[in-house]
Structures are given as structure tokens and as C-alpha cells.
Amino acid sequence: MIEHLGVVIYGKDENKRCKMASTTKIMTITVVLENVKNLEDIVTVSSKAAGTGGSRLGLHTNDKITVKDLLYGLMLCSGNDAAVALAEYVAGGVPEFADLMNKKAKELKLKDTHFETPHGLDEEEHYTTAYELAKITDYALKKEEIQKIVKTQNYTISINGYPKNIKNTNELLGNLEGVYGVKTGFTNGANRCLVTSVKRGDMDIICVVLGADTKKDRTQDSIKLIEYAFSNYQMVDIKFMIEDEFDTLVDKTLFYVEKGINSNVKIDLENHNLSLYPVLIGNVKDVKIETEIRDKLVAPVIKNDKIRKINRKN
């Protein structure tokens, strides 16, 4: 699936619930950063964290490491041990941390996402969809610290005061134009997964591939989707089209307020983040703005009532 600012450019089974392996950690790092004030806090690694299987940072019981270095270990080398250490430090345990993850999913209005762990090892009730994983990623990448971490190819952390160099598992980072993150994943249940963020010029997309049979498949599928988006779409600035439509509304529409003292209604355009919008190259000339209006109102008219929708159409 390919997304730009909430707009799905291309999708196949994007709403199907799937296991997502270590792409889970995109939500993990988000929850950690929203609950830890000081990234230089020292974490003492528990035996449970140290004994976590799968991909590892290489932590041992009673190791001491900062939250910041754990986050790099979480996202670069996909350390499941780092994920559990962070969960225990933030929430006291894995179930309690999963509650925070699910709370954030609810805040993001995700209906087909549920977390059981901070690392993504297979659990029956641990799942998301390609579309909702893209929404999680879009939210996460608004945090500068996350952008900084996921675009890092090599990093030196410190465990018990000793340096250790780690490398990013994202095979597209540094090898495909514009890639600046974000996360790989693999379990037997989820197969090969890859979430990629790519920016070229004024187009910034998130590509999600879940359930690929091999690492080669996920890499090739991701590249094909990314190149398709940049070859076939261009960004159209619809901000001015929306504002022109609003000005026309103000100039030409007469409002009637039933039971009102008068029909003088002050109208404002709600803040919107629509500016650049992806459009198929051959369809740019067909982009239009259409509106829905409620010009007959019943008093009392409340401040911030919505009376019109302005939609893009092409």
C-alpha cells in the first residue's frame, strides 16, 4: 500500500488484518517518546528482557543502558530485548505497555489494530492492517526524534559504558533515492514486512508491504510500489482552489436563519492541512472542487457549527 498524507495512492488488501512482526516497533517508539521525558535515563535490564528471543540488541541481565540507546537498538537492529526493557521501564511490564499502545491506537481511531507486545513476536491478538500501519507511521514520523533515529544507518551505543556499533536492517535505506526510514519485520506468522518512508521533491509517501514470502520479495515489491507512485503521480496545490471556492461562497450565498433575530452569519474557513495533493499525471486538468452547503439554519446557531463541506473531485 502507498499513502501520502492520509491519501491512499495504491492499495491491495490494505484493510485486511495481518500480523506485522517488528513493524510493531513503530508504535513502541512512539509510546516511549510520549511517556519518557529524559532520554538519558538509565535502564537496568531485567532477566525477562535479556531472555527475549528473536532479533536482539544483545542485552544481558543487569546491563545498564540509556533509553536513547535502547531506542536505537529497537529501531536499527530490531532488538526484541530492547523492546521489553523499554516496556518495563515505561509501564512496569509488557501487558501494561501494550495497554498504552492500544490506548494510542484508540486515540488514532484505529479499528483494526491491536497490540499484545512491544516487539511483534507472533500472538493471536496482535495485528494491524497495511492502511492503519501507514497511519501509525505517519503519526510517528511527525516526531523529529523518530525521524532522526529511523534514517540512521550506523550508530554506536553504550552498554555498561562499553561502545557497541549497530547497523540498520532496512535494506532500502541508503540504496534507494529519497528513503529515510522506517522499519523491517519478520516472524514465521507475519512473513517479511517492510514499512518505507520516501521523499522526493514535494512528494512524501509511506509504503507498507506485509506478508511477503522472502526478503527479496518485500524489497522488490516495495521498490515497484515506490517507483510507481513517483512515476505516475504529481503533486497539485489545491489550497488556492479551496480558498477560491470559500470566497465564492461568502460572496454569493444568502443564509436564512429560522427563528433567528437576523440572518447575518459570520463564516470562516476551518483550518485544513490540504495543500499538495497527489493526482495521476494525466488527470491533473480534471481536478475540481465541489461543495455541499447548508444555507437554511435554525436558531440558535452555535459558534463553530459546520455549514458546508468542500471536497476535491477528479
Does residue 245 share a domain with residue 201? Answer: no
SS3 289: strand
Domain boundary among 203, 233, 263: 233
Q: Are 114 and 98 in contact (CB under 8 A)?
A: no
SS3 88: helix
Confidence of residue 2 (pLDDT cuts 50, 70, 90): confident
Confidence of residue 295 (pLDDT cuts 50, 70, 90): low
Asked whether the predicted pLDDT for residue 252 surpasses 60, the reply is: no
- Mean predicted confidence (pLDDT) in 22-29: 98
E strands in the chain:
2-4, 7-10, 42-44, 64-66, 154-159, 162-167, 179-187, 191-200, 203-212, 233-237, 256-258, 276-280, 288-293, 296-298, 308-313
18-27, 157-166, 203-212, 296-305: which range is least confident on average?
296-305
Does residue 178 share a domain with residue 79? Answer: yes
Does residue 13 share a domain with residue 127? Answer: yes
Asked whether the predicted pLDDT for residue 306 surpasses 60, the reply is: no
How high is the pLDDT of residue 144? 97
Distance CA 72, CA 87 (A): 15
pLDDT tens across 71-107, in order? 999 999 999 999 999 999 999 999 999 999 999 999 9
Domain boundary among 199, 233, 267: 233
Confidence of residue 3 (pLDDT cuts 50, 70, 90): confident
Does residue 228 share a domain with residue 301? Answer: no
Number of domains in the chain: 2
Q: Which amino acid is at 20?
A: M
How high is the pLDDT of residue 259? 57
Asked whether the predicted pLDDT for residue 263 surpasses 70, the reply is: no
Domain boundary among 233, 257, 291: 233
- Residue 200: give its domain's CATH number: 3.40.710.10
pLDDT tens across 151-169, in order? 999 999 999 999 999 999 9
Does residue 274 share a domain with residue 199? Answer: no
What CA–CA distances, in Å, run from 149 to 75, 140, 152, 179? 7, 11, 5, 13
Does residue 247 share a domain with residue 205? Answer: no
- Mean predicted confidence (pLDDT) in 116-138: 98
Distance CA 72, CA 256 (A): 59
Q: Averaging pLDDT over each range in 197-201, 246-250, 261-265, which range is the top one?
A: 197-201
Asked whether the predicted pLDDT for residue 287 surpasses 70, the reply is: no
Q: What is the DSSP letter of 283?
A: G
CB atoms within 10 A of CB 219: 20
How high is the pLDDT of residue 290? 63
Does residue 186 share a domain with residue 209? Answer: yes
Does residue 277 share a domain with residue 308? Answer: yes
Catalytic residues: 22, 25, 78
Does residue 135 share a domain with residue 65? Answer: yes
Domain extent for 83:
2-233
Give 37's contacts (C-beta < 8 A, 6+ positions apart): none
Does residue 130 share a domain with residue 47? Answer: yes
Does residue 273 share a domain with residue 168? Answer: no
pLDDT tens across 30-87, in order? 999 999 999 999 999 999 999 999 999 999 999 999 999 999 999 999 999 999 999 9
Residue written as cell 479551496? 242
Q: In percent, how much of the chain has pLDDT > 90?
A: 71
Distance CA 239, CA 36 (A): 37
Does residue 90 share a domain with residue 17? Answer: yes
